Structure 1
Amino acid sequence: MDNELHVQGGQLDDEMDDLDLDNILMEVILMGMVFFDPRLNRVSRRRRIRDSALSGRDYVLEVLNGHPDRIIENMRLSVPLFLHLCDILVDRGYWHAYLSQRVGIHESVALTLMCLSHDKCHRVLAERFQYSTETIDRHVRRVLRALVRLDREFVRPRDVGETHPRILNNGLFYPWFKDCVGALDGTHISAWCRTEISERYRNRHGGLSQNVLAACDHDMRFVYVRVGWEGSAHDARILQETLHHPNSGFPMPPLGKYYMVDAAYTNMPGFMAPFRAARGTQHERAAKALFNRRHASVRNIIERSFGVLKKRFPILKGPMQNYLITTQNNIVLACCTLHNFMRDYAPNDEYFDEEAALGAQLDLQEGGNEIHEAQPIDMSQQGIQNWNENRRAIAVHMYVNRHGA
């Protein structure tokens, strides 16, 4: 009996095991259906963010082949100039192509120009060009470095031995300023930095900026740009440090020629500043005032150059958030390089035409009253005294010529 029960019990256990296996198998099948069937699967799976049908490459091709104004509005360059800039960067070895690289020269330059021309954040550029923000950042920095290297060819003086037509053909400037090769001044560019060093970059208006020293010629071309100084630094100090730095590369004008500077700088050989105070007789005061007015008219070429630069590249108005200081410096240098590139290859550019028309009107006036082989830097007392006497003689001659006395 026990054996029968045992046999019978054994038969009952086998039937239960088969039933359990069927249930388990059914559960596995149902779970698989739930997992693989998108209608039943409620587990969210990661979706590709950059899923636009128009890739960055296709967008650039569309703009290049579209209405001529599209590329000017987006990148500030015409199609021929855009292609020419890309060719220069490649042909002269400033931008190298890699076999494993998906982003070509045209996309890299296009997204960088849009970044500079519209102050677009990297997330906006990532959406437009369908790349990650890391890829956008890498290529922006890469093109900036290439443009900084290109500035050696575009940001430099030329034709400093001759009197510029702007001076030669203006009776208010010639012959007194026939030796002026351009103007020099500092301008504040918005900056962003860590909190612990922010006070060094805080300017007198309370904002954060870097003080950029620049010199330009009478064609509104920058001939020298020095970046990296904090907004709290004084203009005169930056110039003095630049002149004494052995590797600054500052282009001193030939002997007897000079840059126009404002009253913040010292009147010294190579740099002609206005008179600070109207002292002396009535005729001497009148002569100094006349000199200052015409001096201001000549010197405003640097202000107009800064105006075109900041109008074309709004990123300079800032704030340049989330860029390292070195990258912010490269942004300024890159914008100056593009400024000169446009001046050389697009002389009828709307920004330059607007300032040139305004400047032509101002050059015919006497301006406002502003009281406030390279030559060696003669900072001796005698050298500065001789340069002051030279300025005084110009002012007297100018006054006598005007009043005939």
Structure 2
Amino acid sequence: MRHHRRILALLAVQQVLVEITVALTIIVQVINHIKGRTLSERRVSRRQYHLNSRLPAQIRNLHRLVLVSDETCLRNLRMDRNAFGRLCCLLEQSGGIKATKNISVAEQVAMFLSIIAHHKKNCVVKHDFIRYGRTVSKHFHSVLLAVCKLHTVLLAKPCPITNVKTLGGRFKVCLDYPENIRVFRCVRWYLCRSAHSDHEKGRYRTRKGQVAVNVLGVCNPNMQFIYVLSGWEGSAADSRVLRDAIHQHGGLRVPVGNYYLCDNGYANAEGFLTPYRGVRYHLREWDRGAGGPQNKQELFNLKHSSARNVIERTFGLLKVRWGILRSQSFYPIDIQSKIIIACCLLHNFIRNEMPDDPLELEIPDDNELGGDTNADYTGTIESNSASSAWRDALATSMYNDWLGRR
């Protein structure tokens, strides 16, 4: 009898343990279910915050930059709303820029223009546009490549100038205006910070000890670029850069019977007309009661400088428009060269789309990039007696006409 009671007690205890185990299992499952649902809701909430909660703010920011007024768009992106819309269409149709699920073509282009217009850093742009830094960098480079891809569309086509009033009608077959200058003086390149940069830094150091890149630019009287070559070291001679431009496939071409006006960094040769050496040349040298030309060489240089002043104004306007060209840069040299070319191409686009360019009023009056009138020159484009004689005859004819009108 006692043994039977013991067995019943053990069975009762076993039943209680089974019930407790089942209850605990149910409790654990309920807890796990609640935790899983909470985590899922949290993930959904986080995803909604990133994709949905931020989207209205991003759209509002883009509208603030572009759609408020032409003045606001011009101040922030360097072009009015109509030009901005046309640029977006051009880059989408011909440049290969595509809208993604979360960012439109307009926002990609606006980020790029904001960076080159004001030289903003990635950390500033990602805050302004409420985007991740890697998103800003990705779309900056994609738009940069798209703009450079349109060089055949955006570069102005060279055409002969049949009459240049500032030259008294004498330079009648001038094709356009070239200039080779070190546009980016005191630029701090990414190359100069690398472990093996000492040798490379020397190659980009100018005679004044500044690290720079050479840019060969050719423009027309409408201040539009028809040719740009960027990337040569600051230590390279002007004539060496010009030689490379001429010998490149699809490079700078001078049709027979036409010529470019250029400074004394080059030789006075067929296709390239330079001023006289040792004679006052720059326009500022004729100010403040300096007196008029005293001989044919001075008159020739005065007319030459007046006509070539357009390249100085073009580069001056380029730097006023794009802040990234006015300050130090830490981009790699190949990227910086593309940025320079992209700035020139977008400059041309703006000149076409906005005939009245308000930024022209901001060009400094003393902006005279000029050239070294005593610079040495070497290269395959060599001076010859025929070119010098032709220049002398042109100068004599101009001087006689000028004396006859006095």
- What TM-score do the two structures reach when normalised by structure 1? 0.75
The count of aligned residue pairs is 371
3-state SS, counterpart of residue 85 of structure 2:
helix
The equivalent of 1:266 in structure 2 is 267
Amino acid at match of 2:312: E
1:63, distance to aligned residue in structure 2 (A):
3.1
The equivalent of 2:300 in structure 1 is 291
3-state SS, counterpart of residue 177 of structure 2:
strand
- Conservation of the 8 A alpha-carbon contact between 2:151 and 2:345: yes
3-state SS, counterpart of residue 351 of structure 1:
helix
- Conservation of the 8 A alpha-carbon contact between 2:180 and 2:238: yes
Structure 2 Cα separation of the partners of residues 307 and 105 of structure 1: 30
Ranges in structure 1 where 5+ consecutive residues have no aligned partner: 1-36, 38-44, 279-283, 373-377
Amino acid at match of 2:343: C
Are residues 236 and 400 of structure 1, via their aligned partners in 2, closer, same or farther at CA, if it must alter by over 3 Å?
same
Map Cα deviations across residues 142-183 of structure 1 (whole Å, 9 max, x no partner): 11111111121121324326335xxx3x4xx12322222323
Ranges in structure 2 where 5+ consecutive residues have no aligned partner: 1-37, 39-45, 280-292
The equivalent of 1:350 in structure 2 is 358
1:52, distance to aligned residue in structure 2 (A):
5.9
- Conservation of the 8 A alpha-carbon contact between 2:269 and 2:384: yes
1:391, distance to aligned residue in structure 2 (A):
0.8
1:49, distance to aligned residue in structure 2 (A):
9.7
The equivalent of 1:192 in structure 2 is 189
3-state SS, counterpart of residue 159 of structure 1:
coil
Structure 1 Cα separation of the partners of residues 209 and 64 of structure 2: 44
Structure 2 Cα separation of the partners of residues 188 and 211 of structure 1: 7
Structure 2 Cα separation of the partners of residues 140 and 238 of structure 1: 29
1:67, distance to aligned residue in structure 2 (A):
3.0
Structure 2 Cα separation of the partners of residues 101 and 384 of structure 1: 63
The equivalent of 1:174 in structure 2 is 168
- Conservation of the 8 A alpha-carbon contact between 2:218 and 2:228: yes
Identical positions, percent: 29
1:344, distance to aligned residue in structure 2 (A):
1.0
3-state SS, counterpart of residue 215 of structure 1:
strand
1:184, distance to aligned residue in structure 2 (A):
2.4
3-state SS, counterpart of residue 352 of structure 2:
helix
Tell me if 1:160 matches 2:170. no
Amino acid at match of 1:233: A
Structure 1 Cα separation of the partners of residues 303 and 128 of structure 2: 49
3-state SS, counterpart of residue 229 of structure 1:
strand
3-state SS, counterpart of residue 157 of structure 2:
coil
Matches within 5 A, 1:93-104: 93-97=94-98, 101-104=101-104
1:244, distance to aligned residue in structure 2 (A):
2.5
Are residues 150 and 200 of structure 1, via their aligned partners in 2, closer, same or farther at CA, if it must alter by over 3 Å?
farther
The equivalent of 1:317 in structure 2 is 326
3-state SS, counterpart of residue 188 of structure 1:
coil
What is the Cα-based RMSD across aligned positions, in Å? 4.1
- Per mean C-alpha deviation after superposition, the further-off stretch among 59-68 and 259-268 is 59-68
3-state SS, counterpart of residue 69 of structure 1:
helix
Amino acid at match of 2:295: A
